[in-house]
Amino acid sequence: MCNACHPREPVATLEYCDKMTTYEQEQAKAIRKWKDKEPSVVSQTTGWVLKPLNWAVEKIIPASVIKGALTAANSAAEWLTDTQDILRDGGVEKIEDLRDKDLKLSDKLANEVHNWANATAAIEGAATGATGLAGMAVDVPALITMSLRVIHKIGLCYGYECKSESDKQLVYGIMSAAGANNTKEKVLALANIQAVKVMITKTAWRKMAEKAAANKVSREAVILTIKNLAKQLGVNLTRRKALQAIPVVGGVVGATMNVAFINDISWAARRTFQEMWLEGNNIIDID
């Protein structure tokens, strides 16, 4: 059931109303499956198998470098995120019109962004990875910028332009969920996403959320989020990219690991914004 059909009854987890399409039901199940999925084993196994290389990689991409990249890259990603192709392909005049148009259409748009991102990540990773450690200093900031741009771009596909402070916290939450090194980190990231998502999707609270996000306390919360996210991504990327330190195989590893990372980012963004779309249309309420 849903709020639209039964406005006075609470919506149970993953229960559907008669008006919910089969496709929307399938996506709701996929969202739950993604939430329950353990973090990528790639980042977990390479950490101890290639431990001798981790030290060298950490010197190239310390948490402080990633923190700086995150701070600068989010603004760059927002600035680089063009809306014209989404408006054209979505057949709408305003991005927000996609919030209640058609989930299948939004998924199609997001899939195109996803495929573009994977291809671009492979090219960039191969080029910088071929030079070993030297290229990694360029590769990581570029990868972070690309990741944030992908999140912003996928958000557009579902009708959401991430511009407010609350939106930025959502973007960082998606990055955290995608770059989680263990189940505990992913659970915490999902909890943060849910808290911010409630503020963003509930119209009655939106103005209050934006006002709160503008004050000093909220700004400090964002800074702490960036600091913690930088540490988390530092561990994740070090594990993924240890072999990239070897010039002979660095190009292949750079391409492979960049695609794997961007793929995780893209799916985290797609599932998060799918859920926002479904909740925004009062179709489901996934706890």
9-18, 139-148, 181-190: range with lowest mean pLDDT: 9-18
pLDDT of residue 151: 95
Cβ(119)–Cβ(180) below 8 Å:
no
Q: Does residue 84 surpass a pLDDT of 80?
A: yes
Give the ranges where the chain is alpha helix by DSSP (H): 22-36, 41-49, 51-60, 63-80, 84-90, 103-129, 133-157, 165-178, 183-201, 203-213, 216-241, 247-280
State mean pLDDT over 141-161: 92
How many helices and strands, by DSSP H and E, does the chain display?
A: 12, 0
Q: How many domains does the chain have?
A: 1
Indicate whether 38 pLDDT > 80: yes
What DSSP string describes 163-205? -SHHHHHHHHHHHHHHT-SSHHHHHHHHHHHHHHHHHHH-HHH
d(CA 125, CA 142): 9
Residues 6+ apart with CB under 8 A from 163: 78
Is residue 195 pLDDT above 50, yes or no?
Answer: yes
Which range, 86-95, 174-183, 221-230, 242-251, has the best average confidence (pLDDT)? 86-95
127 within some domain: yes
Give residue-wise pLDDT tens across range 112-145: 999 999 999 888 767 665 555 666 667 788 888 8
Asked whether the predicted pLDDT for residue 216 surpasses 80, the reply is no
- What is the band of 78 on the pLDDT scale with cuts at 50, 70, 90? confident
Percent of the chain residues past pLDDT 90, beyond the cut: 35
* Owning domain of residue 100: 44-280
Average pLDDT over residues 60-73: 75
* Domain assignment of residue 270, yes or no: yes
The letter for the amino acid at 57 is: V
Worst-scoring range by mean pLDDT, 23-32, 110-119, 179-188, 233-242?
233-242
187: alpha, beta or left? (left if phi > 0; alpha if psi -120 to 50): alpha
The pair of structure tokens assigned to 178 is: 């995608």
pLDDT for 33 beyond 60: yes
Q: Is residue 232 part of a domain?
A: yes
**In this model, does residue 182 exceed pLDDT 50?**
yes
Provide the CB-side half-sphere exposure for 280 (13 A, CA): 23
pLDDT at site 12: 37
Output 203 or 25, whichever has higher pLDDT: 25
Q: What is the pLDDT of residue 93?
A: 95
Q: Cite the beta strand spans of the chain per DSSP E.
A: none
Q: Considering only CA atoms, give the Rg of the chain.
A: 19
Write down the residue that tokens 């996000």 correspond to.
213
Q: Residue 232 has what pLDDT?
A: 83
Q: Residue 173 domain-assigned?
A: yes
Tell me the percentage of the chain whose pLDDT exceeds 70: 66
Average pLDDT rounded to a whole number, residues 274-282:
90
**pLDDT above 60: residue 224:** no
Q: Do the domain assignments include residue 15?
A: no
Please give the pLDDT value at position 61. Answer: 67
Amino acid present at 259:
V
9, pLDDT greater than 50: no
Element (H, E) at 23: helix 22-36
Using 50, 70 and 90 to split pLDDT, how confident is the model at 10? Answer: very low
Q: Is 39 inside any structural domain?
A: no
- pLDDT recorded at residue 267: 97
Kindly state the tokens that stand for 16.
């559907």
Answer whether residue 137 is part of any domain: yes
CB of 229 closer than 8 Å to CB of 175: yes
Residue 11 domain-assigned (yes or no): no
Separation of alpha carbons 11 and 23, rounded Å: 19
